[in-house]
């Protein structure tokens, strides 16, 4: 199978984007893993697929596959790249579109300054719906990780996140502890592990160990979940600038029951074709 693709990134969180509207695409987990391989394929954190809408009230369907081949519900940095891709490729003339994902509808918008704002929807805070195994919906909950007990906040932004506040994000045990949290039995769908450092009331620093991808340079839904966490814990106020290793995102949230708005860049790197068995 020969595939046309575009390589894109949002703050270094990189993607292979495939147009399944104008070409036939048959993806298997093995093919996704091969495309995502940085030595033998194209290389990416996630693979994004643009498909025709399956319902009349949206413009496109958006599918996301992690580098390990698993399909997931949501990707915020990918959503920004998605709207730039369909606009640059002439698939739509709209600057704001409605897109269906496995977790619901999102609305990304191209701004006049070249950045992209995405309405990421209302965060889910009920433990059972994250999903997180707990008999409480408390904002801060203990989680036993190896020999340590850490205080986490469980949030879903269409995909599950376990966010903890740390004193120094550079010294946080992201690789070791993140891998344990990702597959923790109290998160039956696995989870993205976020480590957030408070800078001031409107700025945080963030690292995320992503489910199925490991630590990435930036995580859009992780940034949203981190801001929800620090606002719920009364450590920060909206809007919040999130510093990641790949750059900065601006997140605004009005509180429980309100949608999270994420603004940041989306960049096209190159386009090409690849033959894959």
Question: Residues 44, 75, 81, 224: which is the catalytic one?
Answer: 75
Using the 8-state DSSP alphabet, how is residue 124 labeled?
B
Q: Is 211 annotated as a binding residue?
A: yes
CATH number, residue 234: 3.10.310.10
Q: pLDDT, tens digit, for every residue of 168-198?
A: 999 999 999 999 999 999 999 999 999 999 9
- 0.75 exceeded by the pTM? yes
Q: Is 63 annotated as a binding residue?
A: no
219 is catalytic: yes
81 is catalytic: no
Q: CA 63 to CA 101: how far, in whole Å?
A: 6
Q: Is 241 annotated as a binding residue?
A: no
Question: Residues 44, 81, 219, 224: which is the catalytic one?
Answer: 219
Q: pLDDT, tens digit, for every residue of 65-78?
A: 999 999 999 999 99
- Both 245 and 132 in one domain: the answer is yes
Number of domains in the chain: 2
- Percent of the chain exceeding pLDDT 90 equals 99
- Both 211 and 248 in one domain: the answer is yes
- Both 136 and 251 in one domain: the answer is yes
DSSP string, 227-254: HHHHHHTTS--SSEEEEETTEEEEEEE-
DSSP string, 51-115: EE-SSTT-SEEEEEEETTS-EES--HHHHHHHHHHHHHTTS---SB--EEETTEEEEEEE-TTS-
Residue that has been written with the tokens 């920004």 in this structure: 80
Residue that has been written with the tokens 């033959």 in this structure: 275
- Both 98 and 156 in one domain: the answer is no
């Amino acid at each position: 199978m020969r595939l046309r693709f575009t390589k894109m990134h949002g703050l270094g969180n990189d993607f292979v984007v495939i147009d399944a509207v104008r070409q036939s695409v048959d993806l298997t987990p093995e093919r996704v893993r091969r495309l995502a391989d940085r030595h033998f394929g194209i290389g990416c954190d996630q693979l994004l697929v643009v498909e025709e809408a399956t319902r009349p009230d949206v413009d496109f369907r958006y599918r996301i596959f992690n580098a390990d081949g698993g399909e997931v519900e949501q990707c915020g940095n990918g959503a920004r790249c998605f709207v730039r891709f369909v606009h640059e490729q002439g698939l739509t003339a709209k600057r704001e579109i409605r897109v269906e994902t496995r977790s619901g509808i999102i609305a990304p918008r191209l701004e006049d300054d070249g950045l992209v704002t995405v309405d990421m929807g209302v965060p889910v805070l009920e433990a059972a719906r994250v999903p997180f195994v707990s008999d409480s919906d408390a904002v801060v909950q203990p989680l036993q990780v190896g020999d340590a007990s850490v205080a986490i906040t469980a949030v879903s932004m269409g995909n599950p996140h376990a966010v903890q506040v740390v004193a120094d994000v550079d010294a946080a045990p992201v690789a070791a502890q993140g891998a344990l949290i990702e597959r923790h039995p109290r998160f039956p769908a696995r989870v993205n592990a976020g480590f957030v450092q408070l800078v001031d009331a409107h700025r945080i620093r963030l690292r995320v160990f992503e489910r199925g991808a490991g630590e990435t340079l930036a995580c859009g839904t992780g940034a949203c979940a981190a801001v929800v966490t620090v606002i719920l814990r009364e450590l920060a106020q909206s809007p919040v600038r999130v510093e990641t290793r790949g750059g900065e995102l601006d997140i605004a949230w009005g509180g429980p029951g309100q949608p999270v708005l994420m603004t940041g860049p989306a960049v096209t790197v190159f386009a090409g074709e690849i033959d894959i068995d």
